[in-house]
Each structure stands twice: as C-alpha cells, then as structure tokens.
Amino acid sequence: MKKILYSLLIASGIALTGCSWLDINPETGLDESEVFTVWDNYKSYFNYVYSGTTSGNETNITLGYPAYLDTWNLRFTWAALTDMADCGRLVRAQNIKAGTLGANVSVFTTDLSRRPISYSMFKIIRICNKAIANIDRIRNCPSEEDKKDILGQAYFVRGYAHFVLCRYFGGMPYLDKALEADDEWDLPRMSSHDTYLRCAEDFEEAWKYLDAAGKARRDAGPGQPGHLNAPDQNRPNGVAAKAMKARALLYAASPLSNVNGDEDWKAAASACSEALSLALENSFDLLPIDSWQNNFIKSRYTNEQIWAHVFSAAKANAASYSCIYTYAMSNYTNASGDCPTQNFVDKFETIYGEPLETPEQREAAALAGHYNEQNPYAGRDPRLDLTVLHDGSVVAGCATGVNFYYDPDQKMYPGTKIAGASSQRFFGHEWGATDGKGMTNTGYMVNKWWDGKFNVSYNRSDPLIRLAELYLNYAEAVNEAYGPDGKAGDIELSAVEAVNVVRARAGMPPVLSEFTSDKESFRERIRNERTVELAFEGHHYYLDIRRWKIAPKTMTKTLMGMYVEKVPVSAEYPLGRKFERRAIPSNRQSTWKDAMYYIPFPVEEANKMKNFVNNPIW
C-alpha cells in the first residue's frame, strides 16, 4: 500500500495539453511560482481533476461518475452485480457477482491500462490539496468570486473523491494536505463513519465558497436566459455541495457505518432537510413523468438534475452504453446488456399502490382485481414500462410492441422491426442460452436509457445527483430519526409526504396507510421507492443493499426471470401469451459473503503499509 500512496500522492497530475513544462512535478524541480502565481496556469493545474489523463486513459473525477465507469471501463452496470439484473454476457460480471473478484481488482485500483478508481481519486485529491494550499499566491485572479469559485470546487472534488473511495473500499486515510517526501507515510485508516463525516465537512466548506461566489446553481433559473445552458454547468455547484453533504451523512448513519444510533440519523435528517430546501429555493424541480427519461437521455441537462455529467458527444447505441444494451440493440461486438430479473420487476407496485413482491401480495392484488399473472404489466407503476423492456413493450421505434416470446408452432423467437434497423432485431432467445452476444436470460432488457430506436445518436447524461434522490434521502433519514410523520429542519414535509411527492410525479397514489404506521413498515416502502426510482443509475442499488446490510438476504434469493410463450387467446391467457416465472440458469445466480461489502486493495500493495488494514480478500 505504501507503494500506491507514494506514487499517487507524490504525482502532481499536471500533464496538460499545450503546457509541456507542466509535465514536471513541483517536487522534482519545477518552480511552483510559475504554476501557482499565474491565474491561467493555476486553473490549468487544477482543471486536471476534470480532464486529466495518464497513459492515454482518464485518471480524473469522471472515474467517480457511475455511468462513465460502467460504460467505458467495465461494460456492465453495477446493478448486474446484484439481484436486480443479470449481465447478458456471462463473462462480464458473473465472477464478481458470484463472489470472486480475481483479476478485476486491478481495474478498481492501480491498472493504468484501464481506468483505475483509487489511483485517480488519490491523484485528484493531491491536486485539490495543492490548489487549496496555494490559492493566496495567485497574483492576477480576475475577481474574488473567481477565486472563491475554484476554491469551492477544490473542496468539493476533494470531498467527492474521498466519498467515492469510501463507498467502494470502506474507510480511508483522509488527506487534507499534499504530503511531502519527509511526511509520515503510514497513515492510519479511518472508519467509514468518520471518513463520511470528513467528506461532509469538505462539502460544507465547498458550499460556503460556492455560495459566496454566486454559484448556488451555475445556470439561470427556469424561464431565464441561460437556463440549462451555462458553459460550466458540468462543474459542481453550491446546491450539489449541500446535497453531497446530506448523502455523506446518510451513508454515515446507515447500518453499515452507524456508530451513534439515532444521533447519526438526526444529523443526516438535518442535512437532508437543508439540501432539499436549498434545491427548492433555487428552483430545481421534478420533471413530469412523460419527460422523466430526459434525466438520462436526449436532453443534455434537466432542471431535476442538481449536478450531472454529459457524455462528450451524442453517440449511437452501437458503441455507447453497451453495458445497458443487449446485442439485439447494438452492433458492438462486446455488447453485454443488463437484463432485469423478475425479482426486480416485482418491486413495481400496482397502480393502486399494492406491493407484488411475494406470492401472498400478488394473490391479494389479484383477488382485488388489480393484478393478473397472465397480463402482468397492465395496471402497474408507470415507471415499470419506462425502466424495463418486456414482451409487448411499446417503444418509439415499435408501436406494435417488442417480442420476447417463443412461438412453439414456428419453433423460434420472432424478431421485432425497430425503426432505424435494416433487419429485424431479436430480443427473445432460448431460455438458458449459453453466453455469446449478450442474450437475455431473464426475459427482460433495460428501457430506461434507450430512445426506442436502433443506432440513433442522442445525448446521454449521468444524473450524479437529482432532486428525486434528495426527497428520498430526506424521507429515509427522517423516518429513521423521527418516524413516518416526523419532520426535520425548516421544511414542512414529513417523511411520508416526501416519498409521496416522488410517487405523485410518477402517477402513483400515496403510500398505503397500512405501511405508514411505524418506522419499520415504512422503511420497506422507502427502500422500495428508491429501488424503482433510481434503478440502473448512480450505482445506488448496489450501494444501498450494502449500507442497509440487507445484501446477505437479497443476494441469496433465487434469481427469477419470465419465460413467455405464444398460446391461443382465451380467458385464461388474454394476451395470447403464457407467462411463466422461471429461475435463471444456476451459473447466473448470485451469492454472498461478508467480504463483499467492500472491494479489497491488491494484497501485495496493501501489505506494504503497516498501518493500513486491508479489506478481506474475496
């Protein structure tokens, strides 16, 4: 581990296009006054945190952006490492999901031929520390607001980098200064709880500077010139700083990290209230459900996104987001695809608000006339169709519905004509199909990040923080601290009411009263709401089941899919389809061992630092 820290903490990370003299580290002879006293040079040094590369690959903050990491590095989303989805190509995620990290660890840590998370985060932490320490040396800063803005960004990025490290690897040494050659290298490892608290302090400091710089949001508000079109909109803003502080304290309060019981939850509730209030004061708002997908595709930015990363250019689905698309919708040879499980699909309630996760719940909904296992997608939460592609799904490129079913008369899975494709695309495949071209083994694909056409270029945006999450973070923290009807801060909103705001946007009724009588009952509905609202984005579900410490339960359930076969239309089979729940193949099931809460550093590196206790190897 000492080797990692020496190389990462000493490396200044200032190799910049057009500034070859900045390739030299200040520690190795560069006169720092050339970097830190001239505004343009200082900015170039700092901007590495957003755009820097090493060995031709990104080693900047984008490695902490979930969708970017999924798309350009691993080619599967981290949802495929949970019970939420099966990875179309077996080789992509299954070893990790089955509890064998193996060679994949280098991807997350030090392999510069890929895009290593820890290397990148430690590198930008050092740059932030140098920028903070030298801010007052600038001689020609255009304005005091410019100085405060970049200082606020430095505190934000430092906090964000530590947060990224902590949620994947656990507690870390917190680096608040650039270590020099004669400093102590054997830094103690902090608990995850204390690491998150330090992150929260940095985000609060970032808020102070960004607010003072007039950067509570970087664009103009709705209806004003420049709305959603600021040149620096990809940079963190003041509301994002408060939102990240709230998220950090929520993680600190969660069962995996909590050390102070209700006091941790109260601190999280207060921070969540402040973040939500500030977002609303600055005119962020939830999109109508008919434009909900704009948070992910087509629009560069939306007014629901507090902070977002837009991919550099609009791209066709043949090459971008191959982690989402199965081979049916991609020309990309290595396309894998996330295939939602039936376990996940069952989390979408009926339109009347009835849960459907257990046989008993489905039976009760059926007796009420609200659910039919042979017409299973009718009368469901509208987010189901927006998130999951299933047999009969109507999309922009296919008004007649996508085919997943098997036709026993033709002994084949019929194709589907999709707009933009010269030939039919095949969504359905033989049940239990062997690994090959990202076939679905669940009977489902992901719809959330797709425009419904074939090979059409459009923008993709990673909503790093959006307003819906702020409502759900608030609801979770307040429920744990004060119960379903509790409130926190100055906002006049109970935990139940906060969840119902998100549900109302989706066209869903308020949470049924039978689930709002006590903290424990309502906890399950909050968690369910997070799962369906934030599915396949932000690595939320992967991290949520860990911080809630429910992964041992969810990861050991049998993963199910939905097999669909064509039959004659009848009273029993109104769609002319027979829907049958089936377990997916045994080699695609998940497992759990407690070592899987965190990713380990490579043993040979961790052992070089005597005070760094590594995570268990798995």
Radius of gyration, CA atoms only, the chain: 24
pTM of the model: 0.94
Percentage of residues in the chain with pLDDT exceeding 70? 85
The pLDDT value given to residue 319: 42
Judge contact between 61 and 235, C-beta under 8 A: no
pLDDT at 605 over 70: no
Report the 10 Å Cβ neighbour count for 291. Answer: 12
The pLDDT value given to residue 74: 64
**Integer Cα distance of 186 and 609 in angstroms:** 6
pLDDT at 2 over 50: no
Sign of the Cα pseudo-torsion (93, 95, 98, 103, in order): negative
124-133: pLDDT as tens digits: 999 999 999 9
The pLDDT value given to residue 189: 87
Residue 591 one-letter amino acid: T
Of 465 and 111, the one with more pLDDT: 465
Of 466 and 338, the one with more pLDDT: 466
State the maximum Cα–Cα separation within the chain, in Å, rounded to a whole number: 82
Distance set, CA 377 to CA 308, 383, 394, 400, 592 (Å): 31, 11, 12, 16, 31
491-504: pLDDT as tens digits: 999 999 999 999 99
The pLDDT value given to residue 213: 98
Please provide the distance, in angstroms rounded to a whole number, between the alpha carbons at the two ends of the chain: 18
The pLDDT value given to residue 15: 34
pLDDT band at 612 (very low <50, low <70, confident <90, very high): confident
Closest CA to 461 of 248, 243, 303, 299: 299
pLDDT at 316 over 60: no
The pLDDT value given to residue 39: 95
Which pair of tokens denotes residue 594?
A: 């407690």
Mean pLDDT of 55-62: 82
**Integer Cα distance of 258 and 265 in angstroms:** 8
Query: Mean pLDDT in the chain?
Result: 88
145-200: pLDDT as tens digits: 999 999 999 999 999 999 999 999 999 889 999 877 666 667 788 999 999 999 99
**Integer Cα distance of 268 and 53 in angstroms:** 36
Residue 70 gets which letter from DSSP? I
257-284: pLDDT as tens digits: 999 999 999 999 999 999 999 999 999 9
Which pair of tokens denotes residue 427?
A: 């969504």
Closest CA to 3 of 438, 604, 541: 604
CA 156, chain centre distance (Å): 18
**Integer Cα distance of 319 and 310 in angstroms:** 16
**Integer Cα distance of 363 and 573 in angstroms:** 17
Mean pLDDT of 395-410: 95
pLDDT at 107 over 80: no
Judge contact between 541 and 535, C-beta under 8 A: yes
Residue 398 gets which letter from DSSP? B
Backbone φ, ψ for residue 75 (5° rounding)? 60, 30
433-483: pLDDT as tens digits: 666 566 889 999 999 988 888 877 778 899 999 999 999 999 999 999 999
Which pair of tokens denotes residue 293?
A: 């997908």
The pLDDT value given to residue 287: 98
Residue 528 one-letter amino acid: N
The pLDDT value given to residue 10: 40
Least confident segment among 88-97, 135-144, 245-254, 540-549 = 88-97
